[in-house]
Homo-oligomer: A and B are copies of this chain.
């Protein structure tokens, strides 16, 4: 049995291009004791992968030349030599862009996912998966969100931002999102129910736009981007404002010359707390987050915004579109047309 996989051909400089990836076929190895074979159904495409393509220190080791591109997958167990997993089980794991993955659940994170017939399977890779969990723990734990907070969310039409803004709204906050296009501003307000959106590309002065949106200042800034948006938000935080930092995508394409932040001294002026976090490390809150997110999706109060491409070979292009800022919602790749979005 053959496994098709996408590996790193050479390192990118700046924005990734299709030529840095190549497809190869290798045999699927026999399982050894304790392993499972996953047939991958959905990839979650994540901007954090960008950092792993460079040969620099990050919270994940860099991808080797010729190495598999890492990704979160949702797959179906098709063979098992592990006592806890059976054929037909679904699971989420950090694997790679490949059709089959051989995993040792006791060595890598492998979560059994009980796919529910009343949720689309893609939701487990987006709004009810790690994107949604990131939004939830970022606001509630690292952002100490309170009822009535005035909340700013950057990359508000993105995978995490789109959920974060909706959770803030559902938690009694006023929420404003920043986006990079007029159509995204419309999605954020009309589809997702944000109180307002700022299209930063249409604003001659982002700070003045924030002044208009937050005449009394910002209690909580859920930061997905860093860069100019963070710099404009810092002087507009209220006293004791909180900035959970989920990502600084503005820098992922330009690590040698990241955007210069000039207003950080406002940390003292406004006694701001800023926290970088990874949702995986708030393990004790995951079940609470999943239950809340699934409930809101089922009731229709939370929209799971997604863009889905089809076929293993579409993964590089989906990643490049994500990094160029053209996408809305969670970027997913389903591996073949016959992945039923609603299982059974």
Contacts and interface: CB of A to CB of B under 8 A. Distances in A.
A119 interface: no
Given A58-B269, A251-B265, A273-B276, 13 more contacts: A57-B235, A57-B269, A248-B265, A248-B268, A258-B262, A258-B264, A259-B262, A261-B261, A267-B276, A269-B276, A271-B275, A273-B274, A273-B275
Interface string A249-281: 001000001111111111111111111111001
Interface centre among A57, A269, A276 (most CB of B within 10 A): A276
Interface in A215-269: 226, 230, 235, 239, 245-248, 251, 257-269
Interface in A40-85: 51, 57-59
Given A57-B269, A269-B59, A264 B277 contact: no
A337 to B, nearest CB: 36
Number of copies: 2
Contact of A258 (B265, B274, B276): B265
Contacts of A276: 266-273
Interface residues of A, number: 36
Contact of A245 (B247, B262, B268, B275): B268
B260 A271 contact: no
A233 to B, nearest CB: 13
A106 to B, nearest CB: 23
Interface of A: 51, 57-59, 226, 230, 235, 239, 245-248, 251, 257-278, 281
Contact of A261 (B257, B264, B277): B264
A59 B248 contact: no
A248 B263 CA distance: 11
A44 to B, nearest CB: 18
Contact of A248 (B251, B264, B273, B275): B264
Nearest to A264: B261
A140 to B, nearest CB: 16
Contacts of A261: 260-262, 264
A271 B267 contact: no
